Every structure is written in structure tokens, then in C-alpha cells.
Chain A
Amino acid sequence: MSHHIVEVKNLRHVYPDGTAALREVSFRITHGESVAIIGANGAGKSTLLLHLNGYLPPSAGEIRIGDLPLNQGTLPEIRRTVGMVFQDPDDQLFMPTVYDDVAFGPVNLGLSGAELESCVTAALERVGAGHLVKKAPYHLSGGEKKRVAIATVLAMSPDILVMDEPTSGLDPYARRQLIGLLREFHHTKIFTSHDLDMVLELCERTIVLDGGEVRADGPTREIFRNEALLAECRLEKPLSMQGCPVCGSGSLLGPPFEKGKAGHHH
């Protein structure tokens, strides 16, 4: 299935004030991959994401989603294919009730009646938020908001999930739940995050942005072992790959990675 492919070629974006946010960014993400885009604040992560569903027009370069080049004509189809979950769920949940909000996308796609009903219910059940259906968004907790925001996107059955900082602002338990949930999705997934431990758990591949350029693109584990690269890009190893803070001995997740055997005792 070539449908779930994201291809970016020599993408360049210059903001109206003259700031070049992206320079010659190229990558190709294939079906079912889970990819993290990491980088310092202002490295161009958000700008890049906004290109993937055509909200920002590229100053130069080309974007292809599946078989379609991104342009005005293909925009509606691409916006259905690429489900975008924003960082602040308050921006995403704009309707009076959770139901209306999850239904917003499907209704715009032309669904109605029982079909709409089952689509909304299924999306909410998928994220474990079925009981929230009648609530108003401002009555939800942070974790609940995040789940519902994901449901609003799932309801449009996208092939590609794009999420900006999925774990920001969540308590450890809600974060853990969300990571578990995201692991179950078999979409092509693209995340930006500063939560590098989450990246380590969810993404087999990582793209490092620095000053609007792709500095590195490869297996997550390899990139996180390259301390010089990380330091140059204002990043550092995920905590689970750093030495034990008590005795200073090697990382909890030392290579080769074997879950369950990784722990050590004092």
C-alpha cells in the first residue's frame, strides 16, 4: 500500500518576516513506520508538521502523501488521510460537547444518522473515552482531553497520524496510558516531542532537526547513542539510557535492548 507514505523533498519555508524556518528538508516515511521528529525549541518541528496537512504552503520543495502531491486540489483528501493532533487539546476541542466534537470531522465528510453514531462511538471507545460522550470539553481533565482529541482525529479514519508533543502536560500515569494507546495504533505515525523516553519506546526511527535542517535521520537507538550529535542539537540522551543516578553504573537500557532483563540491583 503506497497510501501511507509521506515524502518530503527539498522543503523550504520562509516566514513572512524573512525567517527561514525550514531549509532543504527531505525525508521519506513509509507505510506503518513510527517516526519521531526531535530538535531544540525553534528547530522547525512545528513548522514542518503544519506542512504535512497543507496548512502552511511550502516556499519551495514538494510534499507527497501517498500517491498524491500536496496542492489545492488534493487538500481535502490529504486532510482526511493525515490526522493531525495538536499540542493543546483546547485548540482541537472547539464544539460544545465531546460527541459534537468527535462528529465534526465525519459530518464534514458527509456521514449522518446511524453511520455517524457508530463512527463516533467507535472512535471514543478506541481511546477508552466512551463514558465522556455527553460531557463538555471544559469539564474534562488534561488526560481525558488528550484522548478525546485523538478520537476526533481517529473518527476520520486517517492513514497517517501526526501528533505534536503528545505527552506534554500529562501526569506520569496518563502519559503511560497514552504511550500504551499509541503503541496499539498501526497507522504510519509521526511525532514531535521533547519526551525522548517516549520516543525511545514508540519510534524505531528518529529525524533530528537543527536550525531548520535535517541533521540526522536513522534508527532511534543509534541517534541517541551519538552524544556529540545530541549536544550540538541542544538535546541529550533519554533518561532511561543514562547511567544510574544512585551508583553511576551503566544505563538501564544498555545495548542490546532486552526488556525485563535490563534492571540492575544495588
Chain B
Amino acid sequence: MASIDGALLDFKRLDQLAAGDTVMHRLDPRAKVLATLVFIVSVVSFGRYELSALIPFFVFPAAVIGLGDLPAGYLIRKIALICPFALVVGMFNPIFDSAVMLQLGPLAISGGWFSCASIVVRAALTVSAAIILVAVTGFPAICRAMERLGMPAAFAMQLVFLHRYIFVLTEEGGRAARARELRSFGKNGRGMASYASLLGHLLLRTWLRAERIHMAMLARGFTGAFHTRELSRFGARELIFLFSWSTLCIVLRLHNAAQLLGSQVTGLFR
């Protein structure tokens, strides 16, 4: 279970990054959530063969990492973990879509390769935006921001609880899996059957815990409304941040900056 425990520790580190105190950290979470949303929508709304126009979008994660003083290597490793999954999604495209789109001398590149690469790049962009958002804002603050932006309070509360107890649950699951492994002596134990009952136990335990938590909430005067402190406000800085990034994303979406730059550069040498 070393891997699960390790992954968990890593996740906690992502959480600790949110405790930083930089320009990015001090921005109202709502501005960051909205800017990330505009960014993600711009990225995913491109056509399936688009590749070069996506590249300039890397400026957003790069800028936030820089301004937020985040450890780039650590975040890139996190993002790289997702890329294989994106690759699986796109890996059959080159086989099914063999119409040639680009001829580089003797090398013919089919549309399938473009769409496959486009999927991977988009995944890298959107996942990095999401991870970086968590790293400069913190999950609970994101939930609060979404609530203030109009998400139903019940959802926000559930997300906060999910985030609080995912650590407890993973630790519990890790312990149960370790106990199973230690008594199966390198063989596969009773295979899937033992996992089924293990999961059942986890579910029951979660249920009981939920009941105890509810009890603890009632004991402290919980009546259904979830109050949280409102610390930040949406000021001029937030407005400028949101406006400039949204504008940049929309401009990059409408104009292929990479191509423009390319033609500028080639025009220079002509």
C-alpha cells in the first residue's frame, strides 16, 4: 500500500501549498475560480485537430506558478500522472483516422495523430489549471467561492466534507488492504471476493462515522445552516485579474497566436 499512502502524502502537500502568501494566494478565490473556468472552456472548445493554437495557453499555468511561487517540478510530476490516461483515450485515433493532413517531405502525418496529440495537450492544460487552482487557493476556499457564486450550499458542504474525510477514508482503506495483503502471503488471497467484502466494510464504517460526525455537529448547535467566515472581498485587483486573463483566453481562442508569431518570424526573414 506504499503507493496509496505516498499519493496521499503528496495530496496533502498540494493542500499545504495553499497556505502560501503571495499575490496569487491573496486574490479572492472567486476570481481564480472564474478565470480558471474561462481558461478551461476556451481550451476544450477548440476543434479536434487543433494543436498549434493550444500551445500559447500554457502561459496561464506558467504565470500562475510563477506569481504563486509554486514548486514547478512537483506540479509537473502531478500533471504528468494524468497524461497516460489521456493517451489511452486518444491512442486509437491514428488508426481510425488515417487521412493525411500534413506532408513533411517523405513523412505523412494523418489527422489521427493530430487529434491524439490535441487530446493529450488539452488534458495537460486543463488538469494543470485545476491542480494549480487548488495549490493557490485550497480546496475549502474553492468550495466556498463556488457557493458564493451560486452553487447550492448542500453541494458545497458535501465537497468540504469529502475533502476533510478523503484522508481519513484513504487511511482506513489503506489499513484494511494492508491487513488483507499481510494474510494472503503473496498469493491473491481469495481474489475479488475478499475485496468485495473489504469494500462493504469500508462503506459500513463510513456510514457509522457519518452518523458520529452528525452527532458531533448536533452537539455543537448545528441546525442545518453552515456558516463560514467571509474573509476576502471581490475588489479592483480581482476584477483586473479576471478581466485580463479572460480577455487573453478569448483572444487566444479566436486567433491562432502560434501561427501569427510564426508568420511574423518567417516574414522577418523573407
Contacts and interface: CB of A to CB of B under 8 A. Distances in A.
B227 interface: yes
B170 to A, nearest CB: 10
B219 A55 contact: yes
Residue from A79, A88, A100, A108 with most neighbouring chain B CB atoms (10 Å): A108
Contacts of A90: 168, 209
A104 B164 CA distance: 15
Contacts of A103: 229
A96 B140 contact: yes
Nearest to B212: A91
Contact of A136 (B15, B212, B220): B15
A138 B12 contact: yes
Interface in B225-258: 227-229
A108 B163 contact: no
A138 to B, nearest CB: 4
Given A55-B215, A91-B216, A156-B220, A108 B164 contact: no
A76 interface: yes
A76 B216 CA distance: 13
B212 A86 contact: yes
B213 interface: yes
A138 B164 contact: yes
A46 to B, nearest CB: 11
Interface in A91-114: 91-92, 94-97, 100, 103-105, 107-109
A139 B138 CA distance: 14
A55 B218 contact: yes
A167 interface: no
A104 B212 CA distance: 16
Interface string A32-69: 00000000000000000010010100000000000000
A134 interface: yes
A107 B167 contact: no
Contacts of A82: 219
Nearest to A91: B212
A212 interface: no
A79 B164 contact: no
A189 interface: no
B58 interface: no
Nearest to B215: A55
Contacts of A148: none
B161 interface: yes
Contacts of B160: 95-96
Contacts, number: 70
A86 B221 contact: no
B164 A107 contact: no
A152 interface: yes
Interface in B204-224: 209, 212-213, 215-223
A94 B161 contact: yes
Contacts of B228: 100
A229 B194 CA distance: 44
B199 interface: no
Contact of B221 (A55, A91, A100, A109): A109
Given A50-B215, A55-B215, A138-B12, A96 B220 contact: no
A124 to B, nearest CB: 15
A138 B168 contact: yes
A214 interface: no
A96 B163 contact: yes
B19 interface: yes
A95 B216 contact: no
A79 B132 CA distance: 42
A79 B221 CA distance: 7
A80 interface: yes
Given A100-B229, A107-B227, A156 B221 contact: yes
Given A94-B164, A108-B220, A139 B12 contact: yes
A89 to B, nearest CB: 10
A94 B215 contact: no
Contacts of A109: 221
Contacts of B140: 96-97
Interface string B58-88: 0000000000000000000000000000000
Contact of A108 (B12, B161, B213, B223): B223
21 contacts: A76-B221, A79-B221, A82-B219, A86-B212, A86-B215, A88-B212, A90-B209, A91-B212, A94-B216, A96-B138, A100-B228, A100-B229, A103-B229, A105-B220, A108-B220, A108-B221, A108-B227, A109-B221, A134-B19, A136-B15, A156-B221
Interface of B: 12, 15-16, 19, 138-140, 160-161, 163-165, 167-168, 209, 212-213, 215-223, 227-229
A-B interface, 5 closest residue pairs, ranked by CB to CB distance from nearest? A108-B221, A96-B140, A105-B220, A91-B212, A138-B167
Interface of A: 50, 53, 55, 76, 79-80, 82-84, 86, 88, 90-92, 94-97, 100, 103-105, 107-109, 134, 136-139, 152-153, 156
